[in-house]
């Protein structure tokens, strides 16, 4: 206590405010709901979806680290067939959330929708396909599924694609 008396008043006030506000980090009350897995032809990614779990605290951290977007940032993040849903209370209002394994978070309440995306390095451990600036550009080993692992990138496609014949193919 004697050290606090020797601090200049402005520094004491700043220190007190930071400590009492939790260092300015918002506290979200999260209640995880269910995992939603959409159909996909990518067996590796679906296997990773089955294993993907997040605790309430991890979802809270993702939401706290995410940044807001005016519109759905679909083209900026990888997309997965894996989603987690639940509720999050922010400033006394309870929102429904949908978290995609690629890092997009959709918040909705009373017909209002807000979009967020988590692209910070600290988000990587919690996502299946972390942010890389464009869809499916994952190449490092710190992710659960890599581009090379995806069955979408192995062998011929399941259905033939219509392409122009090249001179080499003729």
pLDDT at 65 over 50: yes
Q: How many CB atoms lie within 10 A of CB 146?
A: 16
Position 133 scores a pLDDT of 53
Least confident segment among 15-19, 44-48, 61-65: 15-19
Residue 161 lies in a domain: no
Q: Is 115 helix (H, G, I), strand (E, B) or coil?
A: strand
Residue 160 lies in a domain: no
Provide the H-helix boundaries in the chain: 2-6, 9-20, 43-51, 56-65
Indicate the average pLDDT of the chain: 72
pLDDT by residue (tens digit) across 117-161? 998 889 989 999 876 654 443 444 444 444 444 444 444 444 433
**What's this model's pTM, rounded to 2 decimal places?**
0.63
**Mean pLDDT computed over 54-82:** 91
pLDDT by residue (tens digit) across 99-108? 999 999 999 9
Q: How many CB atoms lie within 10 A of CB 114?
A: 15
Distance from C-alpha of 25 to C-alpha of 23, rounded to nearest angstrom: 6
Residue 49 lies in a domain: yes
Contact 83, 35 (CB under 8 A): yes
Position 18 scores a pLDDT of 34
Position 130 scores a pLDDT of 75
Distance from C-alpha of 151 to C-alpha of 69, rounded to nearest angstrom: 31
Residue 91 lies in a domain: yes
Residue 74 lies in a domain: yes
Least confident segment among 23-27, 38-42, 78-82: 23-27
Residue 21 lies in a domain: no
* Tally of domains within the chain: 1
Residue 38 lies in a domain: yes
Determine the structural domain holding residue 91 and report its residue range. Answer: 29-148
């Amino acid at each position: 206590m004697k050290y606090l008396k020797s601090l200049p008043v402005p520094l004491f006030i700043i220190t007190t405010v930071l400590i009492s506000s939790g260092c300015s980090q918002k506290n979200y009350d999260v209640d995880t709901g269910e995992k939603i897995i959409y159909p996909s032809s990518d067996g590796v990614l679906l296997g990773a979806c089955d294993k993907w779990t997040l605790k309430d605290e991890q979802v809270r951290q993702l939401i706290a680290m995410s940044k807001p977007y005016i519109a759905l940032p679909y083209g900026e993040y990888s997309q997965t067939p894996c989603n987690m849903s639940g509720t999050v209370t922010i400033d006394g209002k309870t929102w429904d959330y949908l978290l995609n394994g690629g890092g997009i978070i959709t918040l909705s309440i009373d017909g209002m929708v807000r979009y967020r995306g988590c692209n910070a390095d600290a988000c990587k451990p919690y996502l299946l396909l972390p942010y890389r600036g464009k869809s499916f550009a994952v190449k490092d080993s710190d992710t659960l599924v890599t581009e090379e692992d995806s069955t979408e990138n192995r062998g011929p496609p399941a259905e033939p694609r219509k392409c122009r014949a090249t001179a080499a193919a003729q």
